[in-house]
Structure 1
Amino acid sequence: MRLHKNGEHLEIQGIVRASRIEVRNPILALPAAAALTSLGTKDRNALAQSLADLKRECAARALPAWHQRRTQAATFWKAASVYCGHIARATRGCTSMASCSLQTALPSYSPGASAARIHRRGCLNPLLALPAAAAVGALDEAPRGVLAAVLADLATMCRDRAERDFRRHKAPMAAYWWECSVFARHVRRAVLQPAGFFA
């Protein structure tokens, strides 16, 4: 067991930190997160279900990208899946993974041909190509506004952590946090699209 110079146990400190709610779900530490549970039950359930669907669709894209050694794309989709799950749990008022499990069955996904990819709106914002993104965009104004605020906070937090880790020469973690920031900005833009955008 490693010790600090003052004798504190690092292992014990790690256990205490890992038990904190905001460490298990970093969304709960964001300033805008409290507004998630202030939504009405109907809005919260609709938002949580849409995010759970988005989580599964993102996860379904992460695995093929990883197998194709497209590591940046795989990191983006994996980070997107993780944080959709975090926000969905926060929306349902869950404080732990065990108290609020999300359905994990993945939809089938096959990477299609890339012809004319640059002309698709899903190229500049890959979230727009997901069916579940349309469901998020179709939510009422109140839950979309709250989600947009949470995503803005999340993008800022992740960008700050990316810069911090890059300065500390932790390039892999910096890359991960940067992809989380990109995901948050993409989803926020999708959420803020005008009505009928996905029609």
Structure 2
Amino acid sequence: MGYINPLLQLPAGKKLLELPASERQLIENVMRELRLQANDEADKAWKRRKGPMAAYWRAVATYARHIAHACSQRNVRGHK
């Protein structure tokens, strides 16, 4: 991602970077799976003309992507 992840500016986002690499990898994998599933739900909602639910699921997908990306970053202790 070609930007500064806004989640990493929050105290809880910074705590993600403190986790061991193995734990961050697990969270990253779950968040990437959640992103795919949320995008599928958004597509279904849009096809049913349920705009608010489509927007909700797109937001879930976006936050999941941000969290996954944050988990993939090198932390201050040098873990990757």
Amino acid at match of 2:16: V
Runs (4 or more) in structure 1 with deviation over 3 Å come to none
Asked which structure has the greater RCO (Cα within 8 Å, sep 6+), the reply is 2
Cα shift at 1:126 = 2.2
Question: In the TM superposition, what is the alpha-carbon distance from 1:175 to its structure 2 partner?
Answer: 0.1
RMSD: 1.7
Shift of 1:143: 0.9
Superposition TM-score, scaled by structure 2 size: 0.86
Distance 2:23 2:73 in 1: 14
Residue aligning to 1:144: 24
Instruction: Provide the secondary structure at the position in 1 that maps to 2:73.
Output: coil
Unaligned segments of structure 2, at least 5 residues:
none
Structure of greater Rg? 1
CA–CA separation in structure 1 for the residues paired with 2:61 and 2:20: 25
Q: Which residue of 1 aligns with 2:47?
A: 167
Structure 1 residue 196: Cα displacement? 2.5
Using the alignment, how far apart are the partners of 1:170 and 1:146 within structure 2?
Answer: 32
Q: Distance in 2 between matches of 1:194 and 1:158?
A: 26
- Count of aligned pairs between the two proteins: 75
Aligned-residue sequence identity (percent) comes to 35
For the residues of structure 2 that align with 1:141 and 1:196, how far apart are their CA atoms? Answer: 11
Partner amino acid, structure 1, of 2:18 = A
AA at the equivalent of 2:53: M
The reply to whether residue 179 of structure 1 matches residue 48 of structure 2 is: no
User: Relative to total residues, which structure has the larger helix share, 1 or 2?
Assistant: 2
1:190 alignment partner in structure 2 = 70
For residues 126 and 171 of structure 1, what CA distance do their matches in structure 2 show?
26
Q: How does the TM-score come out when normalised to structure 1?
A: 0.36
